[in-house]
Structure 1
Amino acid sequence: MKIQSTIRAASLAGLCAALLSACVVEPGRPPQPAPLVEVVPAAPAPGYHWVKGHYRWEGNHWAWVPGHWVG
Structure 2
Amino acid sequence: MDAPSPKSTKLRALLAGALCASTLSACYVAEPVRPAQPAPVVEVMPPPPAPGYHWVKGHYRWEGNHWQWVPGHWRPV
The alignment's TM-score, normalised by the length of structure 1, stands at 0.80
CA shift, 1:7, in A, is 3.1
**31, 36, 55: which one pairs with 2:60?**
55
Matches for 1:5-24 after TM superposition, within 5 Å: 5-18=11-24, 21=27, 23-24=28-29
Long gaps (5+) in structure 2: 1-6
Greater radius of gyration (CA): 2
Deviation at 1:37, TM superposition (A): 0.6
Question: Over aligned residues, Cα RMSD in angstroms?
Answer: 2.2
How many equivalent pairs are there?
Answer: 70
Question: Partner of 2:35 in structure 1?
Answer: 30
Structure 1, unaligned stretches of length 5 or more? none
Distance 2:75 2:26 in 1: 47
Q: Deviations over 1:51-70 (max 9, x none)?
A: 00000101010010000000
* Alpha-carbon shift at residue 19 of structure 1 (Å): 5.4
Q: Does 1:68 align with 2:77?
A: no
